[in-house]
Structures are given as C-alpha cells and as structure tokens.
Structure 1
Amino acid sequence: MTRRHTARLAALWIVFLAAHLLTAWVGWIYPSQPMGDVVLVYEPWASSALGGGAIVGVTETWVYPQLALVPMLLTKALSMPLVPLLGASGAYLIAWAVLVTALDALAFAALLGRSPSRPRITAGWFWCAALLFLGPIALYRIDAITVPIAVVGGLWLSTRPALAAALLTVGAWIKIWPGALVIAAAVAVRARLQVLIAAAAVTAGMMVLLVLLGADNEILGFLTEQTGRGLQIEAVAATPFLWLAVAGSARIEYSFEILTFQISADGVDGVQALLTPLMVVAVIAITALGAVKTLGGASFHRLFPPLALALVAVLIVTNKVGSPQFQTWLIAPVVIWLVSDSARARVPALLVLVLCALTCLVYPLSYDALLAADLLPVLVLTLRNLLLIVLLIVGIRALVRVPAVRSSNHQE
C-alpha cells in the first residue's frame, strides 16, 4: 500500500470519527430533544430491568424485539462510572454515543480493512456523509445499533453466509428491519439453505431463551403492538392528511400510549388499515421478483443490493410510522451496493444522502413548526416522502434490470 493510499485511509478514519463526534455533540444543542428517547425511554427501561422492576419484552409487552434491551442494559453498565461526574442522564447519553461509535468503528473496519478498494473507500465516505446529513437521530436511537450489524452481515454474505445470516437475524431481534436483508439473502445467496438454517437457529434460540426467562404472550408482542398504532404524521401515507392539517381540516394529536404524534382526520382509519396488508403484498411481490431473477441465474453481487434496498424502502414507504431514524435503515443496503457495484449505486446513494438531509431539516430542526402544521416544514416533509417513493422505484427498476444470465465477471 502506497503512502498516498495510507494517508487517504487515515483521513477517512479521521473523518469517520469526527463525524460521530460532531453528530453526538449537536444532539445536545439541536431543538426538539433529538436525544430524548435515550434518556427518557431507554434509560428507564434499563433501570427497571436491573432494579427488579418490569422487564420489557419479558414481563410486559414491548414495541421492540427483546434483544433491543441488551444495548440499553450495556449502556447502563458503561454509564455507571460517569454518573458522579455527569449525573445519570448525562452519563447514559455519553455511554450510548460511545457504544454506537464503537460498534460503527468495528463495522467500518470490516468495510475498509487494511487495503480497501476504491468502491469500499467510496462506501466509507458515503457512510460518513449520511451520518452528518441525518444528524443526531442517526446516533441517538436503537436503530443506530442495527446499522453496523447490517453492514457487516451484508458484507459477509458472499463469503460467510451462515454467520452473516445469524448476524442479520440478531439485528432483526433488535429492530425488525434487518429481517428484510435476511429475506434478500435467502433469495440471492446460492447457499440459501445455510442462510435459512442460521436464521431459524437464532430465532429458535431466542424464543427458547425468552420462554425460560418467563415470557409468554410477550414473545411476539413487538408485532401485535404495531397493529394498534395510528398514522404517524411523518409517514408517507400521512402526507395528504398533513396538507389537510395545513388547511385546518385535520388535527395533529399526541399519543401517550406509544409516545408519538399522529394525524386525525376523516379517512385516516381506512388508510392505516390498508397499510399493513399493502406492506405484506409489496414485500411478497418484490421477493418474488428477486426469486425469478435467481432462477434465471442472476449473480448475487448484482441481485442482492437492489433487492435489499427495495425491500427496506418498501418497509418505510408502506409503514404507518415515519420516524426520522428509519432513514438509517437505508445506509447498509447502499454501503453494500457501493461495494458490490459502485457505478449502479450512485443514484441510490445520492437519493439517500438527500433523504437524510431533508429528514434532519424536518426533525429536529423544524419539528415544532411541523407540529403546528406550518407550510414550510410540511413542504419539506412532502418532498422527503416523495423521494422515498422515488428511491423505492429506483430500487425496483434496478432489480428488474438485473441480468438473468450469470456473468463470468461475478463468480460467487
């Protein structure tokens, strides 16, 4: 490796760490409490579990899969030495940022290695930019824990399919979305039996463990909890109703049950009732398209990235929830696509960066104005949601254009 290459690699690492430091810091100064979930929700959950109280996901139904509690507990343990200096909340926030940064650094090291190729360096720069553009929401949510897991799992699929599938399944037991990458892997990887066995083994192990811990109806509570949710104001399907709110014909209301703002208007119930079935149908259709390409002999390196991105994008577009941290889900598929096929990944990468920037403009920078249904933030959010649909179309289009005949340049 030349000195120039070494210097560029060192510069990328410096930017990566600086991006995390800056993003963590602005969380303390941006409006609308972008770090609120960490100290107002995660820390109490962890304290309750450690203090002999309720254990979310075990003794009571929880909105997240049960492994999501592990990083919250680990953060609590890491924060203890800092409590005398920073107080409980400050210590927990610092420990959370350190934990996310450490996990990201491990995944970044897996991405770059000692002598990374140009596509891997490009993917590294993209990750840094996405983090900076999205802002503190990219760090201070449970979703941030799953991003490095998904990146490493995606990178290892072609060489370590069983281990990669197990890792992605662990990610899905923290936040559901990495399950989309497991589905894409089961379709695109030639060693799909290994993928399916690994995913099933992790899931079976988790369920046995939960039963031993005393969980019963709570085991799949994270699925049943989603069915009763209303239409969150940032969801793609809520966009027309937000414009009704601007005109005074709809209301934005806070749900104390699930701690989020939802839209209330005529027709909302019908729309939200359709979204989950629509999501299921869309996921099946995209998966079936990927399966057709596989049967035709499509290369893993051409098929998996657009299939993964399309599946993740459809989970966002058809979701009743439109939380800003959902944009972090898009980072891993694009990183993998840039590594596998950087030329075709440029447009999706650019779209994701714009989506991250627009999301930050909405939350946290103009969220108070959005809650008041002011015109400008509603316009920005509308543009963000339209671009999410465009990204989904781009992913599906790329999937349709995957050649069915395996190329000799893409051996697995």
Structure 2
Amino acid sequence: MGDVYNVYEPWSNQALGGGGIVGITVAWVYPQVALVPMLAAHLFSWIAGYTFGWAVLVCVLDAAAFAFLVGRGRSRARMAGARVWLVLFVLLGPIGMYRIDAITVPLAIVALLLAIRHPAVSSAILTIGAWIKIWPAAVVLALTIAARKRWWVVVASAGATAAAVVLVIVALGGAGNLTGFITAQVGRGLQMESTAATPFVWLAVFGVNGAKVAFDDEIITFAVYGPGVDTMAALLTPLMALAVAAVCIVGVLKAKAGARMLRLLPPLTLTLVLVLIVFNKVGSPQFVAWIIAPFVLWVIVDRSGIRRGLQYAAITALLTQGVYPLVFDLVRVANPIGVVVLTARNVMLVVLLVWVVQQLLRVPTERSRVAHIAASGARRADAPPVLD
C-alpha cells in the first residue's frame, strides 16, 4: 500500500491545501487526470483514513464495471469473463488494488465491452484512461485497427476527448507541464523488476562487475546499476516502438484480409499490452493488471484455444504477487531466493507474449475462411456418400 500513503495522499493533500498541483504547476511522472482519483479517494477517507478511502474508491469502480459486465447473470459467456477477472485479481494480490493502475482496469473492461456496438464511446473512455495511466492508449490503437471501416470513428473520438482534456489542463495553467509525464520517462534507468533487468539482477546476486540493486530517489523505486545497464535502458524504447509497429502491421494485414472485429480485437489488444510490459524499462508489478481487460473480453467472445493462455496468465499473476509483496525485500537486496521468483515471473511474461503472438497470427480471415470452405467442399465432393 506504500504508494497510496507515501505519494498519492501527499500529492492530493498538496493540491487540496493550496500548494503546487502535480501535472499543472509542478512537473509530474503521471498524466494529469491521474490526480482526479487521488483526490476522489478523500471522499471516503473519513471512514478509516486515506488508504482505506482509496480501497473503497477502487471497489466502487470495480463493482460498477462488474455489474455492467454480468448484468442479471443470464449470459454464460459474461459470467465466464467475470470469473476470469476475479481469479486474476485475487492471484495478483494487493498490488492490483493499491496502485493508480487499479483505476484504469475497470474503465478498460467497460470500454472493451462497448467496443463492438459503440466504438466512439469506447474510444473516449479509453482515452480518459490513457490520461490516467498511459497503457489504455494501446487498447485505442488495437481498436482503431480492428474496427476496420469504422477506424475513423475511434480516431475522431480519441482526438476529441484528448483535445478536451488538453484544453482543461491549459485552462488550469498546466501548459508548461502538459507532456511532463512523457519527458520524465526519457532519462529513467532500468527498474529492478523489469524483464530486461533480469540478467543484471543476477549479476548483482554474484557481485559481478560491480552490478548492484539500489533505490533511486528520483523515481521512488529500486533500479539496477552496472556496466551495460544504461545501454540496455536506451535500447528498450526503440525496441518497444519496433515491436508495437510489427504487431500493428500484423493487425492491419489481418483486418484488411477480413478478420472479424470480435476475433481480432482480444489477441491484438493483449499482444500490444504485453509488448508494453515486456519491453518496458520500468516493469512495475502492477503492470500485470493490464492483461485482465483483454482476457475478460477474449473469454466472452471466443473461449476456443484460450485455456493455455489463461493458465499462463494465472501463473504470471501469482508469481507477481510472489515478487511483490511477498519476497520483494529479498529481491531488493539481490537475494537468490527472491531473484528466482522474479526471474520466473519475467520468463512467464515472455512465454505469455509468445503465446499471444501465435494466437494473433492464427486469427482467421475472410480469405482463410473461403479457402477452408472450398477445401471442405472439395473433400466432401470426393468422399463417398454417407448413408442415413
């Protein structure tokens, strides 16, 4: 719960007390709308303090999204999606509730449920989510590609929503810090929990080449230090961009070939989200919460062939709870036991990414369906008659 009472509460108290407003009058690492839920948690802080108020806020948002998901419980598919959400949430543990990412997960789930019939509304919700934590922008990108002929609706809605947010920020006097959450990430080092940091954490375990894990006061987290770390950190951003571009190309080709939106959107969304996690130099444990929304949609629209992916996701979520908070103190001092758990979690992230890329490549298209029907027809024509 550390971030809630160590940073969210002081930031919001500062804004309410007439001090500097993060993202507006003071540079900030988060998009500006992230301050809204931090302020909203004060509405419930009278019950048992700010941290409890934050938990209540998250529960209220989750309950509203959960009610929207299950309705009256008449849809087996939606009930299956609800079970997936609950299981992954429990396996992920407290990190799934006590971080700003917890605000964006229910928003993303509702947006994805609306994506097919109301792409403009879905895009607007996701854009607001991206102004809280950047990852829903990947879902907007996936929706733009999967929507095919309605792509312009998604783009127009996202653009209009973003413009409205920018106008509010500028009107409040935040023009100078408008893109601060982007520039603040440029000089960041390699966070201890990130996938790319794994080899360096092991070097720290054995004390090779002066590698170590230490606390970074600027970004308020633990990072790895040693030869090659800066080079790796510098490479990750362009590698992420290349990976996102490659996934988008696959998605566009699938869409042009006639892939149905319902079949393309879940694997495309999950692939982009996992690229943001695996190629990220930050790699905070709460990032794993991002995979919940695309899995919920996927289970609802198409459960065939997804069981293995759900198993991988469950293992990843459980190992993430193992990393934080269970063995976090061991990881930060480069203890082999903690690092083994962290390594296993990061390996599972890569395994999950490989699996979903395979699923994306297998998404059926109109051309593949026509070829399949033609082949089936030819086989039936050559086959002997079936006697009733």
Deviation at 1:37, TM superposition (A): 0.4
Instruction: Provide, for residues 73-93 of structure 1, a one-character-per-residue CA deviation record: whole Å limited to 9, x for no partner.
Output: 0112331x33xxx4xxxx111
Output the CA distance in 2 between the equivalents of 1:92 and 1:57.
21
Aligned length: 366
Structure 1 segment 131-280 matched on structure 2, within 5 A: 131-190=89-148, 191-249=150-208, 250-280=211-241
In the alignment, is the contact (CA less than 8 A) between 1:47 and 1:76 conserved in 2? no
TM-score normalised by length of structure 2: 0.92
Q: Which runs of 5+ in 1 are unaligned?
A: 1-34
**2:382 paired residue number:** none
Instruction: Provide, for residues 36-60 of structure 1, a one-character-per-residue CA deviation record: whole Å limited to 9, x for no partner.
Output: 1001100111011111101000011
**2:17 paired residue number:** 51
**2:346 paired residue number:** 385
Equivalent of 2:79 in 116, 121, 141: 121
Output the CA distance in 2 between the equivalents of 1:207 and 1:318.
28
Output the CA distance in 2 between the equivalents of 1:369 and 1:354.
20
Equivalent of 1:286 in 242, 247, 256: 247
Output the CA distance in 2 between the equivalents of 1:285 and 1:251.
34
Q: Which moved more, 1:56-65 or 1:340-349?
A: 340-349
2:322 corresponds to 1:361:
yes
Output the CA distance in 1 between the equivalents of 2:262 and 2:171.
40
2:288 corresponds to 1:347:
no
**1:105 maps to amino acid:** A
In the alignment, is the contact (CA less than 8 A) between 1:235 and 1:321 conserved in 2? yes
**2:43 paired residue number:** 77
2:291 corresponds to 1:330:
yes
Deviation at 1:352, TM superposition (A): 1.2
Structure 1 segment 309-324 matched on structure 2, within 5 A: 309-324=270-285
Output the CA distance in 2 between the equivalents of 1:218 and 1:345.
43
SS in 2 for 1:385: helix
**1:171 maps to amino acid:** G
Report the aligned-residue RMSD. 1.2
SS in 1 for 2:213: strand
In the alignment, is the contact (CA less than 8 A) between 1:107 and 1:151 conserved in 2? yes
Instruction: Provide, for residues 246-282 of structure 1, a one-character-per-residue CA deviation record: whole Å limited to 9, x for no partner.
Output: 1112111111111000000100011000000111111
Instruction: Provide, for residues 302-341 of structure 1, a one-character-per-residue CA deviation record: whole Å limited to 9, x for no partner.
Output: 1000000000000000000111100100100101111111
Deviation at 1:368, TM superposition (A): 0.8
Output the CA distance in 2 between the equivalents of 1:225 and 1:264.
19
Following TM superposition, the consecutive aligned residue runs of length 4 or more in structure 1 with deviations greater than 4 angstroms are none
Output the CA distance in 2 between the equivalents of 1:126 and 1:199.
28
